[in-house]
Structure 1
Amino acid sequence: MNVKKITTTTILCALLFVSFSSFSQKEELKYEVGTSAAISSKSTLPFWLVANQNGIAPKKNGERIYFGINKDYTKESGWDWTTGFDAAFSSTYSNKYALINQYYLAFKKNKIQFFVGAKNPEVELDGLSFTNGNLIMSGNARPYPKIEIGSTDYLNIPFTKGWFGVKAVLSNGWLIDHRYASHVNLHHKNFFLRFGKDKGLSLEVGIDHYAQWAGTSPTYGKLEGGLKAFAKVFIAKNGQVLTTDNGDSSNNESDNSLGNHVGQNQAKLNYNSDKFSLTFFMKNMFEDKSGEIRKIYNVRDIYYGLHLKLHQKKIINSFLLEYYSSLNQGSVEITPSLSVIGFDSYFNNGIYRSGWSNFQKGFGIPLISPTTIGADNSIRFANTTVKAFNLGFTGQHRNLTYLFKATMYKNYGQVFPVVEDRSLPVGDWVILRKYTVDPQEYQKHFLLELLLPQNKIPFDIQASIAYDSGDIYKNSLGLMLKFSRSGFISDFLKK
């Protein structure tokens, strides 16, 4: 008797189906259905018609059909639940099948949530950001299935009268696409503190940590897995020396940490009033042990942003400025005993050679994208060193809503150390930073979106115009037209 292998996706989709058929609050289920068509002056669409679209936007000129069902949380306190499922189809997809993107079920008691499934990240900063406010998980790739427990918002610390709050998340997920190393786990946790109340001035600080671990490598065989390995990953503890069938070895995980780790330190300074909200934020990405000793090695890669949001609808009601630099990525110093500290090469890894990608799209900043995809599903990010600036604003005039953003950046390729004069004693060496792309490549991306919501007409109409100019993406103008409709299923069935 043959037993078919049941995938994680199959189990979660079945669980989701049970949730739809078991709960009685059907009037709260919502639907969204839509279709879009895009065309450009080149064979591929401009950058902002594809990037940060959760991995399902077609790259080429063509159409897309979308369908989704979801139920949002509706209660501030007590028990509540949420669920969702969606799929998209385009004749431009390589597999010619519909992509099931989201499938999830979650329960919440007050602000504590238990989640299972795959869900797109929430749109942050009014959709104006080129990172969606997250350097590592920007919404550029398809979501991965996971089990997660954590808080959906800040929990007030007792006896502080709301002046101090805390929130945290712990999850483990699975990367189910075709990868160089198969059956890889993805661990995530974060922890944040808030000083101050929702209204007025407040400060938020915290850390986000992600790690790929376990699985099977075609080079090193079965990698450390199980509860003991998870404990090492949780505290970023050293792993074992990896050995190939030919006897070659790698000290990466024994000298560094078990798994492929990345993280970001974050700080936000907020001012909220009845009329507007103003936020200044900064984030600093790190990889492996560079995060532990950044004070010694002066890691200066930084992400800044300033976001202003007016609480009344105006010609301009949201404004964002962002700056990002990844020109350092570690130390140029000679550190024989800590060789793993050197240049980080964000989003790449020598063991998990599909890097920080999912279905061949980068998880992180879309400006740093896969440049080489091998037949063995190894993926190389060769443009990890960039300096970028982003400007965006939104507004409304009568029923018409618009969004505009302009992203400009220089690509330096990758950074590597060069010794100016090796004839000198090691202690007198002068280490220079060099980049693989010299002179640098300059690039600009623009996007204008116009949205007319369903009011007198029975559907939303959205027109998106995007333009690329520069050395990487050649001059290209693209247009996308989207028609969509959403509402409650109960209202739809009554008609």
Structure 2
Amino acid sequence: MNFKRILISLMVCVAGLSSQAQKINYTIEDLQTVGKDKYVPFWIHSNQNGLIPVKSANVFYLGLQKKYEKENPNEWQWSSGIDGAYSSEYDKNVILNQYYASLRYKKIQILAGAINPVIEYDGLSFSNGNLIMSSNARNYPKLEIGSTGYLNVPFTKGWVSVKGVLSNGWFIDDRYVDDVMLHHKNAYIRFGKSKGFSFEFGIEHYVQWGGFSPVYGQLENDIKAFGKIFFAKPGKVLESDSGSSHNESDNSLGNHIGQNLIKLNYVTDDYEVSVSAKNMFEDRSGMIKKFKNIRDINYGLYLKLNKCKLISSFLVEYYSSLHQGSVEVTDNLSVIGYDSYFNNSIYRSGWSNYQRGFGIPINTPTIINNDHSISFNNTTFKVFNVGFAGSLDWLQYKFKFTWYKNYGQVYPVVEDRSIPVDDWVFLRKYTVEPQQFQRHYLLELKFPAKKLPFDIIASFAYDHGDMYKNNFGCMLKLSRSGILNDLISKKH
């Protein structure tokens, strides 16, 4: 296979250029997925960074990474990585997944390229700890500056610390609006130290902006536009041959989405426990202005047992997205609210990348058109997710199940239009009546390398419910990782 030869040659070249002091880590994986009617179950292909096809497939993966070294006393360090995968089920057979380089001074980092999200909660979460950017879609290239962890605030003796990032990225897939940029920033503050009790809260903010629309032409993309999207300020009224759009003038320039987080932690050498709540919002309608608007919340309880092997981690989550914003009526009678998460009337590819949703994977793209517009018609859910992991002697396992009700989309209905606009009462209706009930299960078993020169990972998954056909399937993965320098030296 040419792809294998190319990547193996690249590994050898990197190893030849690196010294023993600069360790290059490698990972090689070969996996096969199987499911009913050629489609694999939900938790086999979801939250896999877009690398596992929906249909049964063989995937070959190879990655190289130079990591930061914890034992290195230097304040300046660098890191880089590149990986890719081959499958006949990919549109172009080959996917270049991660490609990045970063420079770090203490805990301040500058990064350029595309890098996958860190796996949170031992992979037990249905959202990987982020309602907007889980690990479901392929990542996008970006320039980013920020902290790699919490930084102590001076004169607080470590009792107050902060962290944050600022980035701008670019979509490079085929989209309804070409040349779209993606702005991201977050800011967090923590009260308490890393051990014992601590309380943290913060905000994440993402914006699609700029680009060339087939309807409205060139969208605002200069430095003034960046200021507008940074502070979520209104944009211009958009004009086209078919009429005007007040979407960005009534709300904010660009396609905004975000989440707020509060989290209470207690950490000891033996265990750690955290209780969290995340609130999602779009534009002004879901922002925290009135307490009654804070309704679309993801609650989570995570327990890590450092000295217990049978159950080493446990997670339970609940999420509802039935509210989706407050209701305001503008002077031109447009309604602000009922956000229809992950959809947008201007950026019609929505919150997706390479036709996979960025957010929680149960919000799957429902309609994908030839013009690359995408509709997320199932955005309103009640979700319950439980997962736990551990080991039995040398056998490692992970199990999770996700149950949810699908309400489709929420939309407003005016109870009585004959009364003045200021007195209108909006009723919430849903496009799926009666609601659809769905269940997804996953059991993953890992047999670490002992007599064989690779790990064996076997995953078994089952779907049952009203949204998808009942389906049982599995994935068998052979995986080997290590330090490339050592591997080359042994051969010589």
Is structure 2 residue 94 aligned with structure 1 residue 94?
no
Contact in 2 for aligned 1:157/1:165 (Cα 8 Å): yes
2:79 to 74, 79, 82: 82
- 1:234 counterpart residue number: 230
- 1:151 counterpart residue number: 147
- 1:140 counterpart residue number: 136
Contact in 2 for aligned 1:170/1:190 (Cα 8 Å): yes
Letter in 2 for 1:79: W
- 1:302 counterpart residue number: 297
Distance across 2 between alignment mates of 1:129 and 1:488: 30
Superimposed CA distance per residue, residues 368-391 of structure 1 (whole angstroms, 9 cap, x where no aligned partner): 110001110000000010110000
- 1:283 counterpart residue number: 278
Superimposed CA distance per residue, residues 113-164 of structure 1 (whole angstroms, 9 cap, x where no aligned partner): 0000000000000100000000000010001000000000000001111000
Specify every segment of 5 or more residues in structure 2 that has no aligned partner in the other structure, as ranges: 1-10
Distance across 1 between alignment mates of 2:14 and 2:477: 30
Is structure 2 residue 448 aligned with structure 1 residue 450?
no
Tell me the SS of whatever aligns to 1:312: coil
Provide the aligned length of Structure 1 versus Structure 2.
478
Specify every segment of 5 or more residues in structure 1 that has no aligned partner in the other structure, as ranges: 1-15
- What TM-score, normalized to structure 2? 0.93
User: Runs of 4+ in structure 1 displaced over 6 angstroms?
Assistant: 16-22
2:177 to 181, 200, 207: 181
2:478 to 456, 479, 483: 483
Letter in 1 for 2:164: A
Is structure 2 residue 68 aligned with structure 1 residue 73?
yes
Q: Structure 2 matches for 1:66-465, cutoff 5 A?
A: 66-75=61-70, 78-95=75-92, 97-244=93-240, 246=241, 248-292=243-287, 294-295=289-290, 298-332=293-327, 334=329, 336=331, 339-423=334-418, 426=421, 429-465=424-460
Q: Report deviation, 1:94.
A: 2.4
Residues 293/250 of structure 1: CA separation in 2 closer, same or farther (3 Å cut) = farther
Tell me the SS of whatever aligns to 1:391: strand
Contact in 2 for aligned 1:303/1:322 (Cα 8 Å): yes
Letter in 2 for 1:102: Q
Q: Report deviation, 1:247.
A: 5.6
Residues 61/237 of structure 1: CA separation in 2 closer, same or farther (3 Å cut) = same
Residues 360/272 of structure 1: CA separation in 2 closer, same or farther (3 Å cut) = same
Q: Report deviation, 1:231.
A: 1.4
Q: Report deviation, 1:339.
A: 3.5
Tell me the SS of whatever aligns to 1:274: coil
Residues 43/19 of structure 1: CA separation in 2 closer, same or farther (3 Å cut) = closer
Distance across 1 between alignment mates of 2:274 and 2:316: 11
- What TM-score, normalized to structure 1? 0.93
Letter in 1 for 2:384: F
Contact in 2 for aligned 1:129/1:392 (Cα 8 Å): yes
Q: Report deviation, 1:98.
A: 0.9
Letter in 2 for 1:81: W
Moved more, 286-295 or 394-403: 286-295
Q: Report deviation, 1:80.
A: 1.1
Contact in 2 for aligned 1:453/1:459 (Cα 8 Å): yes
Letter in 2 for 1:447: L
Letter in 1 for 2:463: D
Distance across 2 between alignment mates of 1:322 and 1:41: 29
Distance across 2 between alignment mates of 1:457 and 1:107: 37
Contact in 2 for aligned 1:181/1:352 (Cα 8 Å): yes
Tell me the SS of whatever aligns to 2:227: helix
RMSD: 2.0
